[in-house]
Amino acid sequence: MKVEEILKRSFLLPFLFAVLIVFFPFIFSNYYVGLVIQIFIMAIFAMSLDILVGHTGLPSMGHAAYYGVAGYAAGFLFLAGVKNFWLAIVLGMGLGGLAAAFFGLLALRARGPYFMLITLALSQVLWGIAFKWRSLTRGDDGLPGIGRPEIGLGMNLKPDLYFYYFTFALFLIAFAALFILLNSPFGYTLRGIRESESRMEALGYPVWLYKYTGFIFAGIFAGISGVLWVYYSGFVNPSYFGIDLSVKALLMLILGGSGSLFGPFIGAGIVVLLENLVSGLTERWSLVLGIVYVTVIMLFSEGIFSVFKRGRN
Amino acid sequence: MKALELKALSKNFGGLRAIRDISLEIEEGERRAIIGPNGAGKTTLFHLISGFLFPSSGRLSLFGGEMTHLQAHQRAALGMARTFQVTNLFQKLTLFENILLGVQAIKGTRFCFYRRVTSFRDVVYETERLLKEWNLWGKKDALLKNLSYGEQRQIEVIMALATKPRLLLLDEPTAGLSPAETILVTSIIKGLPHEITTLLIEHDMDVAFNIAERITVLHFGSILAEGSPEQIKGNAKVTEIYLG
């Protein structure tokens, strides 16, 4: 009886969720469909950051760097006439990983607050390049006119509905891939490092190598979200590297709860919805957001998802 | 063969000479205790041996191989394991996950990132075997932070054993334990197979005399005396530094 109940419950929730997502565009207007697309993309971004923050214990303040690198890569590629999505995503993930491989060498020499500052500084360097190198990036104006890509077999993602389902599919793939990664021996080792680096070192784990590899994985997954956002919004500018984006992702983890995959998803949902809905109601929307954030953090110090976890136990 | 050999080892922290020209040899299979009053340099010596600190001068070798410049994880891979004076475990993971990370440490599969950790049957079975052997199987799903301090001190030792070490370094294994728990942990250490060379630092003289076959007394970073427990007990200089 008890086992049946659990089976039913663990099967029912994802099923209901999938049904809701599939029929959502037929019930709600295009505006809300756009919001859900934003949630999926931001959820991928927040989950990629959580590899570092929640699982390895590395509080990165510059995660937008890899998102931006992938975003600009997809933008340049499209404007050069290459409209194939798969080429863009491979390039975006590759460059996101490459940027992380380079930045990781520098940032992983530091710890704690110094790690936060150096990751922030490195992402600001990229922001500075995007802002100042006008002949290539057109600076603050950004690169407009980026359309939706083709995904092969003569299909393109121009209709919002197609793009919605495609983003949902990619979100599921990223979620599954991260689930596998974080439940592997590698993922367990990252959590061991989060708990105690010196113990892991004493057991014989090359701690630095694990942290470095985790850093690169985080950059690769952040690349997916950067590419998707460019195709969603149709343009790319230096704000892709912005500190507010990096901090927003951290806020998603704090609100939703880090160390699990659902937490970042819930956090992304809250932040995207609040930003868009509250800004439609009042001019002083950032004040309202601030109050909501502070209240949530005071009530749920380990994030909103922790309530569900406690309920299950 | 010598399990561990220190040659003219020194460690300075600025002007402070914490370890002064120490040479020490430990035979394979030996049980050695290092004792000494507070500030004698015991923990510094331990960090030098395990690779958490590097010497200012001198050399170390492990089972005949040079290891002076090896990092801590490289020394562990050569068969060295250590415990910590202040309990150093994975507090927010379960007991099972704690021991599993110990077992997995020496496996080639530890870098695998595309298979579930539980699909590696050998690691799971070995973890299960260890927990059952130490009568902790019933608590496998408890978060480590919810276990008692005495249990955590035991788990410190079990985790070190999970890596199947040839040389085991124990840093004050009974620190902070009640008399009853001290007896338990002491008997665990005495019951370890003799193939495992054991080097322990101990503040508690009774525990050191109970476990070790040979004792080295450290004082102000130098070796004051070395011998069997009886010789050390009868040594006038040792009595003097301990009793003032």
Contacts of B42 (CB under 8 A, 6+ apart): B34, B35, B36, B201, B218
Task: Please check whether residue A212 touches B, CB under 8 A.
Answer: no
Judge: B76–A196 Cβ closer than 8 Å, yes or no.
no
User: Can you tell me the distance from the alpha carbon of A85 to that of A67, in angstroms, rounded to the nearest whole number?
Assistant: 16
Which residues numbered 158-187 in A keep a CB inside 8 Å of some CB on B?
180-181, 183-187
Cβ-Cβ contacts under 8 Å, A178 against chain B:
none
Question: Exposed/middle/buried for B16, CB within 10 Å: 0-12, 13-18, 19+?
Answer: exposed
ipTM for this prediction: 0.90
CA angle, A203 then A209 then A215, to 5°: 125
Q: Which of A180, A203, A217 sits opposite B101 (nearest CB)?
A: A203
pTM, full prediction: 0.89
CB atoms A203 and B115 under 8 Å: no
Mean pLDDT of A32-39: 92
Bridge partners of B59, per DSSP, are B7
Q: With an 8 Å Cβ cutoff, are A207 and B73 in contact? A: yes
CB contact under 8 A, A195 and B76: no
Mean pLDDT of the region A114-141: 88
User: Which residues in B lie closer than 8 A to residue A189 (C-beta atoms)?
Assistant: 101, 104, 110
In the structure, what pLDDT confidence band is assigned to residue A313 with cuts at 50, 70 and 90?
very low
pLDDT at residue A1, as a whole number: 46
Alpha-carbon span B43 to B241, nearest angstrom: 18
Compute the distance between CA of residue A170 and CA of residue A167 in angstroms, rounded to an integer: 5
CA angle in degrees (0–180, nearest 5) for A58-A174-A67: 55
**pLDDT above 90 for B39:** no
- Tell whether the model's pLDDT for residue A90 goes beyond 90: yes
Closest chain A residue by Cα to residue B158: A203
Nearest CB to A183: which of B109, B110, B117? B117
Domains annotated for chain B, with CATH where assigned, are: 2-77+167-178+197-243 (3.40.50.300)
B83-107 pLDDT, tens per residue?
998 889 999 999 999 999 999 998 8
Per DSSP (E only), the strands in B57-196 are 57-62, 65-66, 80-82, 167-171
Q: Which residues of B touch A205 (CB under 8 A)?
A: 73, 105, 110
CB distance B175 to B150 below 8 Å: no
**Nearest C-alpha of chain B: how many angstroms from A197?**
10
Interface of A with B in 254-273 (CB under 8 A): none
Alpha-carbon span B214 to B156, nearest angstrom: 23
Nearest CB among A188, A199, A207 relative to B89 is that of: A199
Where residue A139 falls among pLDDT bands split at 50, 70, 90? Answer: confident
Judged against a pLDDT cut of 50, whether residue A177 lies above it is answered with yes
Interface residues of chain B, partner chain A, Cβ below 8 Å:
50, 52, 71-73, 76-77, 81-82, 84, 88-93, 97, 100-102, 104-107, 109-117, 120, 123, 159, 163
For residue range A221-254, what is the model confidence (pLDDT) as tens digits?
A: 999 999 999 999 988 989 888 899 999 999 899 8
Q: Which residue has the higher pLDDT, A160 or A230?
A: A230
Whether residue A199 and residue B91 make contact (CB cut-off 8 A), yes or no, is no
Residue A8 has pLDDT above 80, yes or no: no
Structure tokens at A114: 């110094």
In sequence order, the β-bridge partners of residue B81 are: B168
Average pLDDT, chain A: 87
Residue in chain A closest to B91 (alpha carbons) equals: A195
Cβ-Cβ pairs closer than 8 A, A with B, add up to 98
Q: Does A309 touch chain B (CB under 8 A)?
A: no
Q: Residue A5: what pLDDT?
A: 60
Put simply, the answer to whether B117 touches A200 (Cβ < 8 Å) is no
pLDDT at B175: 85
